[in-house]
Amino acid sequence: MTRLPALLVSALVLSACEPDTASNEEPSPRLNSSGDALYASWSQLWPRPSATIPVCWENPAPEHAQQRQATRDALAETWERYGNLRFTGWETCVPGSGGIHIVVDDSHPRSAVGYYGPNYPTQMWLNFYSWCDASNANYYWTCIKFVSVHEFGHALGFQHEQDRPNTPQWCKDQQPGNVYTGSGDWMLGDWDSYSIMNYCNPNSYQTWLLSATDQWALSYAYPASSP
């Protein structure tokens, strides 16, 4: 948990561009599924159904080929597995293109939140250099995958779980200065301490997999197409 507070800026929202969603369905403000949770910005979810999201690297380097593949593998096991969405492309970014644009550098990992239109990128920064301790191989690869899944959660339109209005006081006390109540506009079910998007998650940096409640809520936000 020592790294997690610095992920504060991963909730950055690029508000200059109006999102353009393809769904006319209105969200329910609250679901009646006990234990099911995620916290979203409804207007910034990607067009649905069957969201196809281009991803590219601003500065791909040969020495980070394994880390880039680990990122793709982690997303296949999480957001792609449980939501009706696919990440495509994964080549070098083309200037002026949309989708998710990833910069790899030595800064803290962070991402803009959600979709801003077909010609406006959702910018993300990942750190393969120093954020995760490379001296411990098992921890290093788990950390790389955890950070990638967390930041892609933001890129998909999900805010930090501890920013929900119903965050319990014990979590607020644990994360002083890192709780920004009301940053999203759609609570999916009950608050989840084990959400991949939660700073108060006791399993942070120990697994990159979505909690069972994350899986359910994701399938509601990005549901399968009707037959």
Q: What pLDDT is recorded for position 77?
A: 97
Calculate the average pLDDT of the chain.
83
Q: Which residues pair with 130 in a beta bridge?
A: none
* Tokens standing for residue 192: 């989840």
What pLDDT, in 10s, does the model give residues 1-19? 434 333 333 333 332 233 2
Q: Locate all alpha helices (DSSP H) within the chain, ordered by sequence.
A: 65-77, 79-82, 137-155, 169-174, 212-221
Q: Of 101, 136, 171, which marks where a domain is finished?
A: 136
For 173: left if phi > 0, alpha if psi spans -120 to 50, otherwise beta; the answer is alpha
Q: What pLDDT is recorded for position 13?
A: 36
Q: What pLDDT is recorded for position 189?
A: 78
> For position 58, which CATH number holds?
3.40.390.10
Assess whether 88 and 128 both reside in one domain: yes
Please list, residue by residue across 94-107, b when 16 or more beta carbons sit within 10 angstroms of its beta carbon and e when fewer do: eeeebbbbbebeee
Assess whether 54 and 129 both reside in one domain: yes
Helix (H, G, I), strand (E, B) or coil at 214: helix
What pLDDT, in 10s, does the model give residues 123-133? 999 999 999 99
Count of alpha carbons within 13 Å of 121, Cβ hemisphere only? 18
**Residues of the chain predicted below pLDDT 70:** 1-36, 225-227
Residues 53 and 87: beta-carbon distance below 8 Å = yes
Please report whether residue 141 resides in a domain: no
What is the C-alpha to C-alpha distance for residues 203 and 114, in angstroms, rounded to an integer?
A: 25
Q: Which residues pair with 85 in a beta bridge?
A: 51
Please report whether residue 143 resides in a domain: no
* Tokens standing for residue 139: 């921890």
Q: Of 136, 165, 183, which marks where a domain is finished?
A: 136
Q: Of 69, 104, 136, which marks where a domain is finished?
A: 136
Residues 213 and 192: beta-carbon distance below 8 Å = yes
Q: What pLDDT is recorded for position 15?
A: 28
82: domain range? Answer: 49-136
Number of folded domains in the chain? 2
Assess whether 121 and 167 both reside in one domain: no
Please report whether residue 91 resides in a domain: yes
